[in-house]
Homo-oligomer: A and B are copies of this chain.
Amino acid sequence: MIDNKAFSFLLLTGAVLAVAQTPRQPRFQPPPDANVISPELHADGRVTFRIYAPKATEVVVRGEWQASGAKPPALAKDEKGVWSVTVGPIEPNAYRYAFDVDGAQVLDPKNTQTSESNTTVRSLLVVPGKGAEFMAANDVPHGAVRTVWYRSASLNQDRRMHIYTPPGYDLSGESYPVLYLLHGGGDNDDSWSTVGRAGFILDNLLAQGKVKPMVVVMPAGHVPGAGLSMGASPDADKFSADLLRDVIPYVEKNLRVRADAANRAIAGLSMGGVQTLNIGLNNLDQFSQIGVFSSGWFPEVLEQVKKEKREAWSSPATRQRLKLFWIAAGKDDIALANSRNMVAFFNQIGLPHTFRETDGGHTWINWRRYLNEFAPLLFR
């Protein structure tokens, strides 16, 4: 018979499953990594990463805090088979990371915080501190991020989205404006609310009275079997149909939101920025406010846009409908040239906009900051 202490340990570690089928002869064996802690944040901003991998020959850690081209730090193995390394101090921010164990990408098995992207899932490290307060889980009223499955008739599949509702949403009796917030080509609908910290950014802005309470809808932008949505035509990108005919109707049928152009905004980064441009600028009867982060059409697509859209977008009607058009890119951003070329076109045709060239590159570090700057401008 299994004794109580062993039973408790099994329950605690989850190892119970390993013995569940043989209750009369359990082979009690605590997992060898039961006491491993990772990541461990130190007060000075350094971080220790640990992983149990007794038979590995080489373990390194790759994370978004590392400069490109920097050699990822190697972990060293102790006599128990636990590899570890202490790095940093790491600048306060949010970063995805993974171990590389003998060439394989390995999530930190001791960190339950993860962040999905388009093709993989990694561990999430949030380093609190100066400069990162705006994205932290502070002691302020929190909204909620819900995972929603819906039927996309346009794409003939069940799809998932994430939706942020502000604190007080459920009981206020009010209806809220909606920001549709699109991810980039490397990401999925989970990314804005995990590594992107969207919910926490909105919570903190709200607590400071800097932003209007709003619902933020974060749909999935990739269409299975289709490539990147980087063209010019909203009709050619099947995501447009999903957003306009399935996502928005779902949201307006199922959430307490306002359903008019004055209360609909759309923003996106990188690939999601191109989707935002195509969907937003071509549907100004539905969206009055647009944000484009680290994006712009590629040169040949821009030529097509110039040819097809110059007349419509230079019209007074367009200028009147578009209440906010906010564009940002980083000085080291691989999308900077596309952004600048696009902005030059908008200047040519007299389409009002704000263009912010910031420090930094094509990274979540900038995209979080852009959301933090952009959201307060909405629904004014």
Point out residues on A near B: beta carbons under 8 Å.
2, 4, 7-8, 10-23, 26-27, 33-34, 51-58, 64, 67-69, 81, 98, 101-107, 109-112, 114, 116-121, 137, 139, 142, 144-151, 158, 163, 165, 167-168, 170-171, 184-188, 190, 227-228, 230, 253-256, 270-271, 298-300, 332-334, 336, 361-364
Contacts and interface: CB of A to CB of B under 8 A. Distances in A.
Nearest to A334: B23
Nearest to A170: B255
Given A149-B142, A334-B23, A53 B102 contact: yes
Contacts of A361: 20-21, 23
Contacts of A98: 109
A177 B122 CA distance: 37
Contact of A334 (B26, B111, B336): B26
Q: How many identical chains are in the complex?
A: 2
5 contacts: A13-B118, A17-B64, A54-B104, A110-B119, A137-B149
B254 A171 contact: yes
A267 to B, nearest CB: 17
A146 B149 contact: no
A334 to B, nearest CB: 5
A28 to B, nearest CB: 11
A104 B109 CA distance: 9
B104 A53 contact: yes
Contacts of A8: 185, 227-228, 230
A137 B159 CA distance: 10
A87 B248 CA distance: 41
A60 B287 CA distance: 51
Top 9 A-B residue pairs of the complex, sorted by shortest distance between their CB atoms: A14-B186, A11-B185, A53-B104, A20-B361, A55-B102, A146-B146, A144-B146, A21-B68, A107-B107
Residue with the greatest number of chain B CB neighbours at <10 A, chosen from A20, A101, A120: A20
Contacts of A149: 137, 142
B116 A170 contact: no
Residue with the greatest number of chain B CB neighbours at <10 A, chosen from A4, A21, A27, A51: A21
Contact of A109 (B23, B26, B33, B105): B105
A293 to B, nearest CB: 13
A118 to B, nearest CB: 6
Contacts of A362: 16-17, 20, 23
